[in-house]
Amino acid sequence: MLIREATKSDFEKIWPIFHEIASAGETYAYPRDVTKKDGEKLWMEKPRKTFVAEGEEGILGTYYIKTNHAGPGSHVCNCGYMVPPTSRGKGVATAMCEHSQQVARELGYEAMQFNFVASTNEGAVRLWQKLGFEIVGRLPKAFKHPLKGNVDAFVMYKWLKT
Amino acid sequence: MLIREATKSDFEKIWPIFHEIASAGETYAYPRDVTKKDGEKLWMEKPRKTFVAEGEEGILGTYYIKTNHAGPGSHVCNCGYMVPPTSRGKGVATAMCEHSQQVARELGYEAMQFNFVASTNEGAVRLWQKLGFEIVGRLPKAFKHPLKGNVDAFVMYKWLKT
């Protein structure tokens, strides 16, 4: 698996992944009816950098990194990761999360924060915990899950600077 | 004190307040060298609505309300309040926060979240607590205070729907 920075043309292959995950509405706080154009803006243009994980089969996953807050908060970054169902169970999310922490350090960030992790996304929560992230906040009923109703969301955080 | 929606022309009087507070870097996660144009975008254009509190002396304070996260998070709003030193101690923040909760309910929001409250901003933290907000998260060393160094930031939250 190679993780490399995404190019503009990669979005054609990122979009089906982004669209499937965003429209499901179970894990990401994007509009469920997000358009391709807005998806490109959200995933490719607004972040500081976007990466893809590539295998022989093609793109296995993607992530972005951006500054979470400006000014006095700008030493903390935020990342989002997407792995399509077809490439789950292969360690893609782990590889991308570890890669992103390295990139974050190279970019000078001191910590990484996930702002809005649906508490029902148990696999992700466990994985981030295994990779050193802590649940530092719980937002009661802040995530409207399409099947489970209003569920709590977590804020997760890891200090990166050694 | 009258609290009313801000008009575009109010920004001339909002800007000195915004600039003083943003450039101090002690409470808001805005770039400390924010330009007037970016300030207008951040305070007046990106939010859903912006309000001013007005007294006989002129503008006593200002706040914005916006949707905190899209899609599955869009029932939670976020507000930011600014009161210049010259109009502190008059209940302006309390009046604006209560007003904003009413506006939030009218706009259909179910909860209000403050994403990044510097823990050193003790007066504000106490006031939000008095007004029903709870500290639901603590972000270690996430706020770089110009005098106090890296301090924790709080996530504060209030469920509004009855």
Instruction: Write the pLDDT tens digit of every residue in A113-137.
Output: 999 999 999 999 999 999 999 999 9
Q: Are B71 and A28 inside 8 Å of each other by CB?
A: yes
Interface check for B80 against chain A (CB to CB < 8 A): the answer is no
Average pLDDT taken over every residue of chain A: 97
Dump pLDDT digits (tens) for A82-109: 999 999 999 999 999 999 999 999 999 9
Distance separating alpha carbons of residues A86 and A97, to the nearest angstrom? 18
Q: Which of residues 16-55 of B touch A (CB under 8 A)?
A: 22, 25-26, 28-32, 34
Model pLDDT, residue B35: 98
Mean pLDDT, rounded, of chain B = 97
Q: Where are the domains of chain B?
A: 2-113
- Is B71 at the interface with chain A, CB within 8 A? yes
pLDDT digits 0-9 by tens, B86-111: 999 999 999 999 999 999 999 999 99
What integer pLDDT is reported at residue B115 of this predicted model? 98
ipTM: 0.95
* B161 touching chain A per CB within 8 A: no
- Strand locations in B35-133 (E): 49-55, 58-67, 76-82, 111-118
- The helix/strand count (H/E) of chain A reads as 4, 7
pLDDT tops 90 at residue B162: no
* Largest Cα–Cα separation, chain A: 42
Q: Does domain A2-113 have CATH number 3.40.630.30?
A: yes
Mutation test of the interface with chain B: which of A150, A151, A156, choosing the one with the most B Cβ atoms within 10 A?
A: A150
